[in-house]
A and B are shown apart, each in its own frame.
Chain A
Amino acid sequence: THTHWILFMFLLTLQRVAPGGEAGVWPMPRKMSEGSERYALHPQGFSFRYGRDSSAQLGCSVLDAAFRRYFALCFPENTVETDRLSVSAGHGELTANTVWGALRGESHFRDLIIRLSRNLFLKIEDFPRFQYRGILLDTSRHFLPVRTILKTLDVMAYNKFNVLHWHVVDDPSFPYQSQSFPDLSNKGAFHPQSHVYTQADIRKMVSHARLRGIRIIPEFDSPGHTQSWGKGQPGLLTPCYKGLHPSGTFGPVNPTLSTNYNFMGRLLKEVSTLFPDPYIHLGGDEVDFSCWKSNPDVRMFMKKMGFGTDYGKLGSLYFKNMMNIIETLNKTSVVWQDVFDYHSSPKSLDVVEVWKAGCYMCEVRRVTAAGVRVILASPWYLDQPGPTHEWSRFYTVRPLAFTGTEHQKRLLIGGEVCLWGEYVDGTNLAPLLWPRASAAAERLWSDEAQTSSVSQAYPRLAAFRCKLLRRGVQAQPLFVGHCKHEYEDL
């Protein structure tokens, strides 16, 4: 790792600021000490610079772009001029091991400026509690316009989320436009032109996310949740039978045909080049075995393989083949907990995402006990609406409160907020997501002991939510009250 020094030059202005009021720093940094003096920043005098000894210098695309972005956020057009008492030049320093750390440390620096109410020489030491802080968006149940996703990535960065888990396709539609298999979206999308993500769209999203320190992990969920795939790829899905005859409906991917693995191999190869992230999510949830059971060819195959009537073994076989594909692509696979539950050798899995309600901690314990890494999603299913004060429900989660060894706890690599798409599209996504997801963001970033009180978090979150409004984010209110700058659009 390299050390980056980023130097801030600015005019230092001592000035009177009304005391009180929270700056709305969210999520809470590890250590933050505030001085009593206050300084003002003036757009003419302020600049972001690379430190002399920084290994990143002008030309580092991520930071160059971030400097411009955060400068604009620090100095919106109508910044109010304030009285100056005395002026001297000063500078702040931000040290981080990588550009990504610099991005997120910088977020804090900006938070402190906007209110002109914090000592710039304050020391912030900060690092995330979990390395994986994700948000799941579902673009199959409703199509989300590219712009909506880009905007969500912006807000994720404000909240220090670093993973977009993109549940691209599912039963209702297949909006991913594949070069190798164009029929998948031609026939499986809601509309083959207006409701698809082109390769160019995806490259744009990946690059937009990268500049904000966000990984995009695509999910191509199989063998279940694949109704839309079947429309453009004949032979992929299992024909269901009623008695001796096909019923005309289809079930999960047919795991008995090698042609299907060839197809998956080619599709995932394309996906893996388009998405640079080392992870690919393979899904694997809610596989309904009844269609497999009804199909005589599948039954014959079961017999040949000596699986008896244990369709979990058939599922395992499917996933063994899928993981071989992923391995040849040099990727790490993530699967939903269902795969762990029915898999005959669960220890072979890379990463398991725990999503079911009930005793999710029991599942976390089981998976980590098998030595497998875990992403926790169960307590953060946001698609179920409710008055926003629900945010406390997402805030009071204690992800490591399961019995297990230190090693097991380290295997919990993070958590994920899931906004499934049954009742969500571009019209209501933003207010449903923010600021409720912010509650989870702090849980995944900050020290739990320092952030255990809902009532202490409330004013800070309310201030942070107002800050989001100021930046044009459609974040819904926590309760009665107002922001200095209200949201003015529809």
Chain B
Amino acid sequence: PAPPRLAGLGYGSLWLRLTVTPVGTSGFSQCVREQWEEVPQLGESRFGSLWPLPQNVVISPVAFMLRSSSFQIVHSAESSAGPGCSILQSAFRRYFEYMFGYTKNQGGNTKKGQDSEVTELQVWITSADSECDAYPSVTSDESCEFPEPMNFLIFFTCFLFACFYTPLLLLGLETFSQLVYEDQYGAKKINKTDVQDFPRFAHRGLLLDSSRHFLPVKVILANLEAMAMNKYNVFHWHIVDDNSFPYESTVFPDLSRKGAYHPYTHIYTPTDVKMVIEFARMRGIRVISEFDTPGHTQSWGKGQMDLLTSCYSGENPTGSFGPVNPILNSTYDFMAKFFKEVSLVFPDTYIHLGGDEVDFTCWKSNPDIQAFMQEHGFDKDFKKLESYYIQKLLDIVGSTKKGYMIWQEVFDNGVKVRPDTVVEVWMGSNYQEELQNVTAAGFSTILSAPWYLDYISYGQDWQRYYKVEPLAFKGTDAQKKLVIGGEACLWGEYVDATNLTPRLWPRASAVAERLWSNQNVTDVGDAYNRLTQHRCRMVARGIPAEPLFVGYCDQEYKGL
């Protein structure tokens, strides 16, 4: 859905496009030379470096020491999770290392348990089923509430926090680690703090595109790590597209063998995919795969004969191909087998089916399709043909017991879809009107239109993403409830491992706070102060997040 997704054009025509302003992106120009936003004055936030800002937080001036030699993160006795919970065990170690680095035994051997020292962080899963071995789901967040006695509590020597389910508890650990700071002597401290927290939106997603450029697994994992730091909980993996098919299918191995940039070095093997899913699970992140059809499928055609429509010029095939051929039974046999595999490989309850930017010209040119149209009484309305295809596809995917997400065109074209379909709104112009229409029709929706991070401009464009209010459309409360979240999209035309991470962070952090924090958290100045520190924290944790403006971090980026 990124406007500059230019299907099937070779380099020869590239240069024509250089001056073309993408369609449907009013307000975004590809390179805005003037300063976009004002540069706020940098100062200290009363909320320190917390990002995204919790729903309720009171930080008292009373500070406690934390020492790596004595501090421990443990399961509380009442918790339904214990040392057998590998998600939490891994998270304990990860956050211990974030907080203390890899140095052990700093602070000498003063007696354990001084009044001013926190020696324990107890975590407590209150639900009977901790979900330790489950995959995070769309309900993991929503069911989690923090009744009064269950927020962060201060005891004399330990912090306790509790949460209903495991995934949100991971986010609590993140919050805790963000509260730890160094005093002027380099000692770790944490202030007495009261936090009650829950996300504003259940779906906080990030789209990465591994088709236009192949993204090595290492880069994907690093960005999952950064997502956890920003409380993102959905990785929308736009895994294949026109340009390449890096997903290695066990049922149809030719798809990647012939459709990937390279059949060995530029693919995701089943093991790679498992690794990504497990790495994400350990961080409370869902992986929703997108297999976009019927358009954006040029690369599919290389490994699957007759899947795509032959385009015609007059009476003769031109040798080029268009969208998936919707009139052949073989197409649906293929899709059934393929999506069966996909539904088993990706455990999440949702699959993204794409459905954007279907170009009808090739269908129009094909005599078999013309005949089929006539036969079915579609007249010249190719939207009906698209509907025909999508409905058959939805039936196929529905039979795998998965829910599905689609891009907004499917809705716009009047395709009949199941009522629990999630519609993703991506088109830049009038997205509020679209939200209004989609929710009025009773569909859940995800907003990504204002958060296309592949558009870059000079200066602090994070403010533009920050200032978006997703519910600012006209509609009833019931309609607003149907907006289940949003997604930051980083399309891959100009992005690969070399520049993905600094381009994404901390710009995607702005979106993260909008999706997590309370609607009334809109103070850009305060956000700037916190985000500057949050960015430095990401850098210290090894994420090359680019600077917001002039300045420095105590610990500059060590990589490269």
Contacts and interface: CB of A to CB of B under 8 A. Distances in A.
A195 B542 CA distance: 18
Given A423-B547, A480-B212, A488 B499 contact: no
A118 B559 CA distance: 36
A478 B456 CA distance: 15
Contacts of B31: 384-387, 390
A426 B33 CA distance: 23
A478 B556 CA distance: 28
A490 B542 contact: yes
B11 A458 contact: yes
B325 interface: no
A245 interface: no
Contacts of B501: 427, 490
Interface string A69-87: 0000000000000000000
A388 interface: yes
Contact of B549 (A386, A387, A423): A423
B552 A191 contact: yes
B539 interface: yes
B262 A482 contact: yes
A437 B404 CA distance: 44
A486 interface: yes
Interface string A370-393: 000000000000001111111010
Nearest to A357: B33
Contact of A490 (B549, B551, B559): B559
Nearest to B242: A480
A143 B556 contact: yes
A148 B501 CA distance: 17
A190 B15 contact: no
**Which of B11, B262, B545 has the most chain A CB atoms inside 10 A of its CB?**
B11
A132 B219 CA distance: 38
A384, A480, A489 interface centre (most CB from chain B within 10 Å):
A480
Given A143-B556, A454-B15, A389 B494 contact: yes
Main secondary structure of the interface of A (DSSP, over half): loop
Given A458-B11, A490-B219, A194 B554 contact: yes
Given A455-B14, A490-B219, A476 B494 contact: yes
B147 interface: no
Contacts of B559: 426, 489-490
A173 B493 CA distance: 36
Contacts of B30: 386-387
B83 interface: no
B496 A477 contact: yes
A427 B500 CA distance: 11
A293 interface: no
A425 B496 contact: no
Contact of A487 (B243, B498, B551): B498
Question: Which of A173, A390, A477 lies at the interface centre, i.e. has the most chain B CB atoms within 10 A of its CB?
Answer: A477
A49 interface: no
Interface in B504-560: 539, 542-552, 554, 556-557, 559-560
Contact of A386 (B12, B222, B456): B456
Interface-centre pick from B213, B495, B545, B556 (highest chain A CB count, 10 A)? B556
A474 B499 contact: yes
Contact of A172 (B214, B493, B551): B551
A477 B213 CA distance: 9
B265 interface: yes
A30 B242 CA distance: 39
B492 interface: yes
A469 B498 contact: yes
B372 interface: no
B10 to A, nearest CB: 11
A480 B262 CA distance: 14
B261 interface: yes
Interface in A98-150: 141-143, 145, 147-148
A475 interface: yes
B458 A428 contact: no
Identify which of A476, A485, A488 gathers the most chain B CB atoms within 10 Å of its CB: A476
Interface string A390-433: 10100000000000000000000000000001111111101110
A392 B18 contact: yes
A23 to B, nearest CB: 17
A281 to B, nearest CB: 20
B256 to A, nearest CB: 13
A198 to B, nearest CB: 16
A37 B49 CA distance: 63
Interface in A191-227: 191, 194-195
B14 A479 contact: yes
Contacts of B543: 490
Contacts of A477: 213, 494-496, 498-499
B552 A173 contact: yes
B493 A455 contact: no
Nearest to B545: A427
Nearest to A173: B552
Contacts of B456: 385-387
B86 to A, nearest CB: 26
Contacts of A151: 560
Nearest to A141: B550
Given A387-B456, A490-B222, A490-B559, A427 B497 contact: no
Contact of A384 (B15, B33, B266): B33
B218 interface: yes
Contacts of A142: 547, 550-552
B448 interface: no
Contacts of A427: 501-502, 539, 544-547, 557
B303 interface: no
Given A143-B556, A191-B554, A474-B560, A486 B497 contact: yes
Interface string B222-236: 100000000000000
B482 to A, nearest CB: 34
Interface in A47-103: none
A482 B543 CA distance: 24
A454 B494 CA distance: 18
Given A142-B550, A427-B546, A474 B498 contact: yes
Given A385-B458, A431-B499, A480-B243, A425 B547 contact: yes
A490 B550 contact: no
A244 B492 CA distance: 59
Nearest to A482: B261
A258 B118 CA distance: 59
B213 A481 contact: yes
B15 A455 contact: yes
Contact of A423 (B11, B12, B222, B459): B459
Contacts of A459: 11
A388 B500 CA distance: 13
Contacts of B18: 389, 392
A304 interface: no
A53 to B, nearest CB: 42
A484 interface: yes
B214 to A, nearest CB: 6
A482 B244 contact: yes
Contacts of A484: 262, 265
Contacts of B546: 423-425, 427-428
Contact of B498 (A141, A421, A431): A431
Interface in A455-483: 455, 458-459, 469, 474-482
Contacts of B244: 482
12 contacts: A172-B550, A190-B552, A191-B552, A388-B494, A423-B546, A424-B546, A426-B559, A428-B544, A455-B14, A477-B494, A480-B212, A485-B265
Interface of A: 141-143, 145, 147-148, 151, 172-173, 190-191, 194-195, 384-390, 392, 421-428, 430-432, 454-455, 458-459, 469, 474-482, 484-490
Given A194-B556, A486-B265, 10 more contacts: A172-B551, A385-B31, A385-B458, A422-B549, A422-B550, A423-B549, A455-B14, A458-B11, A489-B218, A490-B219
User: Closest 6 interchain pairs by CB?
Assistant: A386-B31, A431-B499, A428-B502, A427-B544, A482-B261, A190-B552
